[in-house]
Amino acid sequence: MLDTEQQAARDWFEALRTRICAEFEAIEREAGSDAAFNYLSWWREADGQPAGPIEEGGAGGGVRGVMKGKVFEKVGVNVSTVGGAFSPEFARTIHGAGDEAPGFFATGISLVAHMANPHVPAVHMNTRMLVTTKRWFGGGADLNPPIPYAEDTADFHAAFRAACEAHEAGDYPRFSKWAEDYFYIPHRQVHRGVGGIFYDHLEGEFDATFAFTRAVGEAFLDVFPRIVRRRMNMPWTPEEEAHLLEWRGRYVEFNLVHDRGTLFGLKTGGNIDAILMSLPPRVTWA
């Protein structure tokens, strides 16, 4: 059975998924598209645990949601709730886990949107709660525009600055710098986008840290649809589309080489299609 904190976090992430998907589908309707999310449930496979809900003693699982439309060329919104034991080697890399206590519980939401219009920025957002011998929250959001606009960048950062400043657990200068450092591609010597916030291992009193994590989700749901609607009807040229496809290559390189969330999913027996839903449908390399 899940404890009250685990259940509250799970319920919130799943409710946020539902609201985000509804908003993205509404944007498609405004563009004259009937695109909708397709959902696929999956169960995690783990040695010594049956496939099934974690509250029934299973290894847990999730729901992968993907939509391909007129505005959102491909967007994935996943939720998952899983538990079990890390491999000994991987446990040593996880906060609060190790050889003597490899057990874990994790629940969260993960989102990546690749847009059809080069003037509309791609985006990533995730928030999660993870429990080992410790309990913490992590996540954030970052904007990835092929063609940056100062107004969009300012609005995106302002939304997350406000979320941070409204909560003692928030630290915008630290979390913004963390995103700048984390979403950097060393072998290209470029940042993946124009930043946002990133935080991890946020321990402390549950109500406070959970409230901040909810604020991050609310900030995303407020600001990103506004940016999409601002740009989605702008015309674009073949040259701008070519730039979009090449820029997506940077996103692919980061996620497959450096992203910790991708590694976590692969190391814990997650659904491969859900883990790799972050990859764009089209991409080029020069």
Predicted local confidence at residue 101, as pLDDT:
62
Catalytic residue among 124, 187, 191, 258: 124
Query: Confidence class of residue 270 from pLDDT cuts 50, 70 and 90?
Result: confident
Q: How many residues does the chain have?
A: 286
Domain boundaries, the chain: 4-278
State the pairing for strand pair 184-185/103-115: unpaired
The pLDDT of residue 83 is above 70? yes
pTM: 0.92
Torsions phi, psi of 66, nearest 5? -135, 135
Predicted local confidence at residue 82, as pLDDT:
93
Q: Is 124 a catalytic residue?
A: yes
Could you tell me if 79 and 47 are in contact, meaning their C-beta atoms sit under 8 angstroms apart?
no
What CATH code is assigned to 4-278? Answer: 3.40.1500.10
The pLDDT of residue 91 is above 90? no
Could you tell me if 169 and 152 are in contact, meaning their C-beta atoms sit under 8 angstroms apart?
no
